[in-house]
Amino acid sequence: MNFNDFGKYNQFKEQFANMAPEMKEQMMKMAKEQVKARVTCFCKKWFAIPVLTIAALFLGAAVGALMAFFGQVLLTVGGLRDTHPLYFIPALAIAGAAIFLGYKKWGKGAERGMGVVFAVGQGKENNISLRLIPMVAVGTWLTHLFGGSAGREGVAVQIGATLGHNISKKFPFENAGHIMLVAGMAAGFGGLFQVPMAATAFALEVLIVGHMDLMALLPAIVAAFTASKVSSMLGLEKFSVDLNGLLGANGGADVAGLFMNNGALDVNFIIKLALIGVLFGVVGGGFAKLLSLAKNLMAKKFPNGLKRIVIMGVVLSALFLLLWQGRYSGLGTNLIDLSFVGADGVAADIHNYDWILKVVLTILTLAAGFQGGEVTPLFSIGATLGAVTAASFGLPFPLAAALGYAAVFGSATNTLWAPILIGCEVFGFGSLPAFFIVCVAAYVCNGNQSIYNQKKLKLKF
């Protein structure tokens, strides 16, 4: 401060002293409002992420508890169906009618499912009804109980996103809705599969192609890890495989050892990984494209949603019963388990066509209007595809099954870091280089397809 500043201050002080009381009061009021506005702006800017991160902790706990309940009920109904397939699978059409009519009576837009989550996440809409949570959960339980081929991640992500977005309305921060929605998505995925790092990456990269939403990074991490821990504490089991142990049991080296040949990096092995990654990318991208085409075709052929789900329910019931009484019903975890069990270097109980039938039946189930998701069937498709093509690429079948498990999921969702991390969290971080190579190849070769309505950035060159 210089002498001129003191002079200006003294001049203002004299003017203020000579002002009328009403003018002084008005100026003091304006000064207080400016200070208040600046303090509020400061608080919103610097306290938004810490406050939302604390909120994400509670969000993760709530979502984790819901995922434990939802997942355990889902496993129970799936086990009941597998025990008595002839009791439940023939009634798939009736279950479909119940799902459709339930959404028509109580849904009020909830039938859009992941569509509304992505629309809100991309800023196209601004509301997700809480009624979506019970509707999608009950619809998925019915789909699985009566034999539909569907997944469960759609439920997890929708529940987490719905809770997160509605909780965000309690906070005055800019972008609170978007941040808490992303955190909720991470919590749902992480709580159901108990892969918090992959869940965080999935939530951050799935809404917009080629963009990581780092603004929501810290809340998403906290929500995902909390949900994963809570669901585990409440008894929901995580699927994991000791890949190196399986390779050793089949007379091979661990994954790190496969990269080396006579003390040098084995370039041929890397090429094999890249080539099988291309295959996984084509299959995952093809699944996403065929699912989109099937939904559009079904809507044109059967504009009446009730007729569509009932007719397709009858057709699917017949197919599921004819094809080994429900081998391809449900999540596909039965096929995943079989993909890692074998003798003489092959997965003994996996057929060459298992992955094809799982693709077709999952697409038909979802295109008809049944509830669930695509991710666990994609895990199944990838694992079985890897198991049956391993010999053609000169790879151990457990390794190829593990790589397919992650890479087909990544290519169908058009994500990169999520499949790499899910491979590591399920099969061990010692396999990171292999998952990186295969998932990059799959991502590059998926034709930019996705099972989700992703927003694509327009790049200018």
Give the Cα separation of 186 and 220 in Å (integer).
6
First to last CA, the chain: 49
Q: Average the pLDDT over 86-111 and give the result.
A: 93
On the 0-12 / 13-18 / 19+ scale of CB atoms within 10 A, 450 is: buried
- Between 355 and 214, the more confident residue is 355
- The least confident of 11-15, 391-395, 437-441 is 11-15
User: pLDDT of 244-287, one tens digit each?
Assistant: 998 988 777 899 999 998 889 999 999 999 999 999 999 999 99
What is the structure's pLDDT at 459?
47
Contacts of 178 (CB under 8 A, 6+ apart): 121, 123, 213, 215, 216
Q: Is the pLDDT of residue 167 over 60?
A: yes
Beta-strand runs (E) in 70-207:
none
Q: E strand or H helix at 456, and its extent?
A: strand 455-456
Pairing relation of β-strands 264-265 and 260-261?
antiparallel
Pairing relation of β-strands 455-456 and 264-265?
unpaired
What is the structure's pLDDT at 235?
97
Model confidence at 330, pLDDT cuts 50, 70, 90, reads very high
Q: Which amino acid is located at 428 in the chain? A: G
Q: How many CB atoms lie within 10 A of CB 3?
A: 7
Model confidence at 455, pLDDT cuts 50, 70, 90, reads confident
Helix 21-83 to helix 132-145 angle (10° resolution) is 10
The three-class DSSP label of residue 449 is coil
Say what the pTM is. Answer: 0.90
What is the structure's pLDDT at 458?
55
Q: Is the pLDDT of residue 14 over 70?
A: no
- Between 369 and 110, the more confident residue is 369
Q: Which amino acid is located at 184 in the chain? A: G
Contacts of 398 (CB under 8 A, 6+ apart): 241, 243, 246, 247, 250, 340, 342
Give the Cα separation of 135 and 139 in Å (integer).
6
Give the Cα separation of 450 and 412 in Å (integer).
5
Q: Which amino acid is located at 319 in the chain? A: L
Model confidence at 19, pLDDT cuts 50, 70, 90, reads low
**Residue 343, phi then psi, degrees to nearest 5:** -145, 150
**Residue 260, phi then psi, degrees to nearest 5:** -115, 145
Q: What 8-state DSSP symbol labels residue 108?
A: T
User: pLDDT of 185-203, one tens digit each?
Assistant: 999 999 999 999 999 999 9
Q: With CA atoms as reference, report the closest residue to 444 among 409, 416, 404, 403.
A: 416
What is the structure's pLDDT at 385?
98
What is the structure's pLDDT at 461?
42
The three-class DSSP label of residue 285 is helix
What is the structure's pLDDT at 248?
85
Q: Is the pLDDT of residue 44 over 80?
A: no
Beta-strand runs (E) in 273-343:
none
User: pLDDT of 138-166, one tens digit each?
Assistant: 999 999 999 999 999 889 999 999 999 99
Q: How far is CA 130 from the centre of its chain?
A: 19
- 264: β partners: 261
Model confidence at 31, pLDDT cuts 50, 70, 90, reads low
Model confidence at 210, pLDDT cuts 50, 70, 90, reads confident
Cβ–Cβ under 8 Å, residues 233 and 240? no
- Between 183 and 6, the more confident residue is 183
Model confidence at 384, pLDDT cuts 50, 70, 90, reads very high
User: pLDDT of 295-316, one tens digit each?
Assistant: 999 999 999 999 999 999 999 9
Q: Is the pLDDT of residue 86 over 90?
A: yes
What is the structure's pLDDT at 112?
85
Q: Is the pLDDT of residue 33 over 70?
A: no
User: pLDDT of 385-438, one tens digit each?
Assistant: 999 999 999 999 999 999 999 999 999 999 999 999 999 999 999 999 999 999
Q: Which residue segments constitute the domains of the chain, with CATH numbers given?
A: 49-233 (1.10.3080.10), 243-456 (1.10.3080.10)
Model confidence at 3, pLDDT cuts 50, 70, 90, reads very low
Contacts of 87 (CB under 8 A, 6+ apart): none
CA dihedral of 366, 368, 369, 371, whole degrees rounded to 10: -40
Model confidence at 457, pLDDT cuts 50, 70, 90, reads low
């890397």: which residue's tokens? 270
What is the structure's pLDDT at 111?
81
